[in-house]
Amino acid sequence: MSDTIDFWIDLSSPYAYLASERIEDIAARHGRKVRWRPFMLGAVFKTEETKPLVFYPRKGKYSEMDLARSAREHGIPFRIPSKFPVPTVAASRAFYAIEDASGHDAARDYARAVFRAYYVDDRDISDAEVALDIAGECGHDRAAVAEAIASPEIKAKFKEATDTAIEELGIFGAPFIIVDGEAFWGNDRLEMVDRWLERGGW
Amino acid sequence: MSDTIDFWIDLSSPYAYLASERIEDIAARHGRKVRWRPFMLGAVFKTEETKPLVFYPRKGKYSEMDLARSAREHGIPFRIPSKFPVPTVAASRAFYAIEDASGHDAARDYARAVFRAYYVDDRDISDAEVALDIAGECGHDRAAVAEAIASPEIKAKFKEATDTAIEELGIFGAPFIIVDGEAFWGNDRLEMVDRWLERGGW
């Protein structure tokens, strides 16, 4: 059994962003490491017959209120971006390119920077140029990342991650957290993950 | 500001059942009373373009696992009933008939008995005869409840509750908990309700 917690995210998911600001601390308290895994959530909407939260009339309105409230509880800066939701293919590929070149911790720091660029600074992370700018701001060679995200190898890595998430693991939402084979869906399950780790399951 | 917590439920919702076993204790710790309000969740599925959880391929499978796990954590007896989900018109009308005749606490106790009949004893609560049997078992006059649930007044009460939930309050799922005008959706928000009551909001 690996001691790693898999943290499946879509880089434009607001609940994934909120969870991303807390999961490292929770894992660390229990001596665990987090493995971040961006995938393309949109790929599951069709077969699951679901859609982004904001496209449901009542659920969408509730979610906007709940996101703001959930952020306030933990002092996490948050606003719904001007362009929302967006696809994040370039940024997700950049994550895997950075992981490939510089290791997982560097990729995790990049993902956090992408989330904050979107939910704090309202930058359009669906724009490949913005995704590359953020890589540059994180200290990576912008041109090298640009070349990598256009390569078949990195494209395949993101596709494989999405296939693993949806086909193999049956994931249908984000964030989706897997601890010792046990699946937890949603930012609001972080407390349950914490209790699960504390008690070793139940 | 009322000190009452409104607890909107559908009598066949499994997450509403799990919440129903804990919400009274949480409210009591903060000196609050709970006002139970059954409504017909199915009435919102069409306009919201949603459906019962079990009809989503991936989300349905996850939910079955999550329901069992959530029940285990709190030692609540639970199994998915043989016939699931079901409409609960007769039982919901019986709730309002009992509230009318015997007060809210009696109606609440009836709702708890209906939930347990369904999720513990696997009885078919969609059957009006079963709904009336449970009323009898709770000490009510079975014939009087049978007459009441066929009356226009009680039918109107259940319809009004459903209209209030969906049209006025924008409710789209169950359980839906309203504390001082603040809405919380889902069994997994009970802990947040607890913290909200403790801190008086944030």
Reported as a single tens digit per residue, the pLDDT across A79-99 is 999 999 999 999 999 999 999
Q: Using alpha carbons, list the distances in angstroms from residue B167 to B35, B39, B46.
A: 19, 12, 13
Whether the per-residue pLDDT at B82 is higher than 70: the answer is yes
Considering only CB atoms, which chain B residues are within 8 Å of A48?
56-59
Q: Decide: helix, strand or coil at residue B182.
A: strand
Report the b/e string of A164-196 with b at 16+ CB within 10 A: ebbeebbbbbbbbbbbeeebbbbbbbbebbbeb
Residue B48: which region, alpha, beta or left (left: phi > 0; alpha: psi -120 to 50)? alpha
What percentage of chain A reaches a pLDDT higher than 90?
Answer: 88
pLDDT digits (tens, 9 = 90+) for B119-162: 999 999 999 999 999 999 999 999 999 999 999 999 999 999 99
Q: Does A192 touch chain B (CB under 8 A)?
A: yes
From the list A44, A170, A182, the residue facing B61 with the nearest CB is A170
Specify the pTM. 0.94
Per the model's pLDDT, the better-predicted residue between B53 and B175 turns out to be B175
Average pLDDT in the B75-90 region?
A: 96
Give the DSSP H or E segment for B18: helix B14-20
Average pLDDT in the A169-187 region?
A: 95
Average pLDDT in the A182-200 region?
A: 96
Considering only CB atoms, which chain B residues are within 8 Å of A44?
58
Q: What is the ipTM of this complex?
A: 0.91
A199 burial type by CB count under 10 A (0-12 exposed, 13-18 middle, 19+ buried): exposed
Predicted confidence at residue A79, as pLDDT, reads 96
Whether the per-residue pLDDT at B55 is higher than 90: the answer is no
Assess contact for B38 and B136: CB atoms under 8 A.
no
**Tokens representing B146?**
């049978």
Q: Which residue from A115, A151, A135, A157 is spatially nearest to A17, judged by alpha carbons?
A: A115
Backbone φ and ψ of A173, nearest 5°? -160, 175
CA-nearest residue to B47 within chain A is A57
Average pLDDT in the A174-202 region?
A: 96
pLDDT band at A32 (very low <50, low <70, confident <90, very high): very high
Whether the per-residue pLDDT at B1 is higher than 70: the answer is no
Predicted confidence at residue B42, as pLDDT, reads 87
Predicted confidence at residue A110, as pLDDT, reads 98
Which is it for strands B4-9 and B33-38: parallel, antiparallel or unpaired? parallel
Alpha helices (runs of H) in chain A, residue ranges in sequence order: 14-20, 23-29, 42-48, 57-73, 89-102, 104-119, 128-137, 142-149, 152-163, 190-199
Q: Does A172 touch chain B (CB under 8 A)?
A: yes
Considering only CB atoms, which chain B residues are within 8 Å of A173?
59
Give the DSSP H or E segment for B176: strand B176-179
Any idea what DSSP says for residue B188? G
A94: number of Cβ within 10 Å: 31
Predicted confidence at residue A53, as pLDDT, reads 78
Predicted confidence at residue A34, as pLDDT, reads 98
Q: Does B170 touch chain A (CB under 8 A)?
A: yes
Q: Does B202 touch chain A (CB under 8 A)?
A: yes
Predicted confidence at residue B46, as pLDDT, reads 75
What angle (nearest 5°) sits at the alpha carbon of residue A54, between those of residues A133 and A114? Answer: 15
Whether the per-residue pLDDT at A19 is higher than 70: the answer is yes
Q: Does A50 touch chain B (CB under 8 A)?
A: yes
Predicted confidence at residue A56, as pLDDT, reads 80
What percentage of chain A reaches a pLDDT higher than 70?
Answer: 99
Give me the sign of the Cα torsion angle A164, A167, A169, A170.
Answer: positive
- Average pLDDT for chain A: 95
pLDDT band at A37 (very low <50, low <70, confident <90, very high): very high
pLDDT band at A14 (very low <50, low <70, confident <90, very high): very high
Assess contact for A173 and A41: CB atoms under 8 A.
yes
From the list A61, A72, A189, the residue facing B188 with the nearest CB is A189
pLDDT digits (tens, 9 = 90+) for A114-126: 999 999 999 999 9
- Average pLDDT for chain B: 95
What angle (nearest 5°) sits at the alpha carbon of residue B115, between those of residues B171 and B177? Answer: 30
